[in-house]
Amino acid sequence: MSRMRIVAAAASAALMLAACGDGQESSAPEASPASVSPAEPTGSPLSKADIVALAAAFGDNPLTGGQTAPRLYRWVNDRVAVFVQFDERDPAKATALRYVGVSVKGVFCAENQPGGAKGGFPHFHRLNAADYAKGHAGPPGTPGYWLSWVAVDEFAQRDGRQVKPGVDYEFSPTPAPPRCGAKLPKTDFAAPGAKALSEADLAALAGLFTDNPLTGGQTAPRLYRWVNKDVAVFIQLDKSDPAEATAVRYIGISVRGEFCKSKQPSVDFPHFHRTHAAEYSKGHGQAPGDRGYWLLWMATDTFKQRDGRQVSPGVDREFSPTPPPAC
């Protein structure tokens, strides 16, 4: 589906989507028996050209001192950068996307680690280091970034650890940060290139996410891009219509699956959406065994939802929950 068709569909459906684009899925799904959906959209791996185009959109470097990270960054506001990480450091040699994630400005102090020790940000990297290998952790209060990785595929790491789609809580953990107490520094340090996305930036980014994994005429309040046969990466803006958006609120993944408790990848995937529905608001959850996708949202900013819920950068386990049945 072209970006222009996505924009047109989103604009014509804006009223319908207003209640379901921000984590407040207000329309209850209609009861229906489990059924086999029409042919499910087929995901496909990124081609070499796709990888090159995606890499080109992530051209920021938040690190100083000559560091070159094994991932590619793009600032989305003055505090958070999103990143992509391929199976090879050099995108020209890469064959697959392994991770998407967020990098949040911070300091190496326990009080500053997003979500605490088990919040999904296992790694701290210094703003400044002579080379990348020397940038992990640091003395108390060191300025840098807290990183969270979301795997988009199943694969084995070089150390033999098996990874599945979802938040990778074990990616390159740095030592537990110290408590800094009264000496906790502010996180207002200057970061190279940190800025909000412009209207043109948002349009270009949206243009990379032009797939639609849903059928039946559904138009989701987010933009998707298949990265393999079962997983799509998505971005969700502050407006359902990309032409009206001013910021990226979330980056996340959609994993093909079934609506059963035993099939839910983890609690980090709070929402199940049916592949096929007559309209988007009728696709949330529904009958045991229905086919569709489990969704994980990683917030990229600090903001308040319309129901008053405060959201901070990191995995949002409360986004539009659809409690799954036991099948």
Q: Which two tokens stand for residue 262?
A: 């035993």
The model's pLDDT over 198-231, given as tens digits with 9 standing for 90+, comes to 999 999 999 999 999 999 999 999 999 999 999 9
pLDDT (mean) for 77-95: 98
Please report the pLDDT score of residue 166 as a whole number. 99
Please report the pLDDT score of residue 12 as a whole number. 37
Average pLDDT, the chain: 91
pLDDT (mean) for 166-183: 97
pLDDT (mean) for 72-83: 99
Find out whether 275 and 214 touch, Cβ atoms under 8 Å: yes
The answer on pLDDT for 170 being more than 80 is yes
Please report the pLDDT score of residue 55 as a whole number. 98
Percent helix, percent strand, percent coil in the chain, to nearest 5:
15, 30, 55
Please report the pLDDT score of residue 107 as a whole number. 99
Backbone angles phi, psi at 147, to 5 degrees: -115, 140
Question: Which of 284, 233, 275 minimizes the C-alpha distance to 257?
Answer: 275
Question: Which of 57, 110, 96, 21 minimizes the C-alpha distance to 297?
Answer: 21
DSSP per-residue codes, 92-130: GG---EEEEEEEEEEESSGGGSTTSTTSS--EEEESB-S
- CA dist list (Å): 257 to 34, 189, 254, 285: 14, 43, 9, 12
pLDDT (mean) for 28-49: 70
Dihedral-angle region of residue 246 (phi above 0 means left; psi in -120 to 50 means alpha; beta otherwise) = alpha
What's the angle, vertex CA 192, arms to CA 189 and CA 193, rounded to 5?
Answer: 120
The answer on pLDDT for 237 being more than 60 is yes
CB neighbours of 290 closer than 8 A, spacing ≥ 6?
A: 34, 35, 37, 258, 259, 272, 274
pLDDT (mean) for 151-180: 97
Please report the pLDDT score of residue 8 as a whole number. 37
Q: Please tell me the least confidently modeled range out of 23-37, 68-82, 253-267.
A: 23-37
Please report the pLDDT score of residue 37 as a whole number. 52
pTM of the model: 0.89
| Interatomic CA distance for residues 230 and 314, integer angstroms | 23
CB neighbours of 314 closer than 8 A, spacing ≥ 6?
A: 102, 104, 114, 115, 119, 120, 121, 148, 298, 299
Please report the pLDDT score of residue 152 as a whole number. 99
The answer on pLDDT for 285 being more than 80 is yes
The answer on pLDDT for 151 being more than 60 is yes
| Interatomic CA distance for residues 59 and 17, integer angstroms | 32
The model's pLDDT over 17-38, given as tens digits with 9 standing for 90+, comes to 333 445 544 444 443 444 445 6
Q: Please tell me the least confidently modeled range out of 25-34, 89-98, 113-122, 276-285.
A: 25-34
Please report the pLDDT score of residue 38 as a whole number. 66
pLDDT (mean) for 42-59: 97
CB neighbours of 269 closer than 8 A, spacing ≥ 6?
A: 166, 255, 294, 295, 296
